[in-house]
Amino acid sequence: MPRIVYIHHNCFVLEAGERTLLFDYPAPAYLPEAAARICASHLAGRQLTVFASHSHDDHFDPEIVAATSGAAARQFVVSDDVADLYGDALPPGRITMEPEDRVDLDGLTVTALESNDMGLAYLLEMDGLTVYYGGDMALWDWPGNSPAANRAVGMTWRRQLGRLEGKRLDVAYSNTDPRLPESLCGAPELLDRVRPRVFVPMHLGGHVHYLDTFAPRLTRPGTTLFRYAKTGDILDI
């Protein structure tokens, strides 16, 4: 049975059969030591694919090769900005992607989608499971932005939703930053339009208590909300 493990912020492990996926493992300044240890325990001896959506420190650790050394085998899928900035720290066999790139990795099909922040979002298909991982693609409608900037952000966000609409999404990871309490980064809109089987809120900076506040706005019939409370919490899909 596939399962999702919460690590910290936007970092999650997805275990699916023989395959383990790791998303957006952050630099040490954004990752408590206890969370790093729990993450390592879920990677030990596994066939691992590491995804980096972009190069912000809260999403990518330049020492990612050392951090994942306990895995039995590894492949790395990174956005082009990660490869540009940290190419020397990554192994030669890494997969570098740009928007609209598509690659098949031994039965794991990865499609790179646009972001309205740095880097990419990912759409993954494997063993009958379809997963959307948004990275920092979100409705970043900051109050300090100009109306024109917020319109542009919203247009890109809704274009992404239009692309996902109608797909059978088993899991959708998307941001619900508590600094944007009105829009929740567009998460309620994603739930209404895309209707994933499982929704995984992200970008809480470890402040998971906000999920108690946000849960009523993130609850939909037919969608399971991963309401994690601490690092290492697991949701079986």
Rounded to the nearest 10°, the torsion over CA 73, 78, 84, 90 is: -10
Check residue 5 and give its pLDDT.
Answer: 98
Within 8 A by CB and 6+ apart from 177, the residues are 138, 184, 185, 203, 204
Q: Per-residue pLDDT tens for 68-113?
A: 999 999 999 999 999 999 999 999 999 999 999 999 999 999 999 9
Over 90: is that where the pLDDT of 36 sits? yes
pLDDT of residue 215: 98
Residue-level pLDDT at 127: 87
Phi, psi of 52 (to 5 degrees): -125, 115
Range of the domain at 178: 3-236
Query: Looking at the predicted structure, is the pLDDT value of residue 132 above 90?
Result: yes
Q: Provide CB contacts within 8 A for 213, sequence distance 6+.
A: none
Say whether pLDDT at 217 is over 90: yes
pLDDT in tens, 187-198: 999 999 999 999
Alpha carbon separation from 220 to 154, 168, 188, 189 (Å, rounded)? 22, 16, 9, 11
- The residue among 54, 32, 64 whose CA lies nearest residue 205 is 32
Tell me which residue of 103, 135, 141, 100 sits closest to 119, measured CA to CA: 135
Residue 1 predicted with pLDDT over 90: no
Query: Is pLDDT of 225 > 90?
Result: yes
Specify whether the CB–CB gap between 79 and 119 falls below 8 A.
yes
pLDDT of residue 207: 97
Q: Average pLDDT, whole number, for the chain?
A: 97
Report pLDDT digits (tens) over 162-214: 999 999 999 999 999 999 999 999 999 999 999 999 999 999 999 999 999 99
Number of domains in the chain: 1
Q: What is the CATH number of the domain that holds 151?
A: 3.60.15.10
Beta bridge partners of 4: 14, 235
Decide: 40 and 11 in contact? Cβ < 8 Å. Answer: no
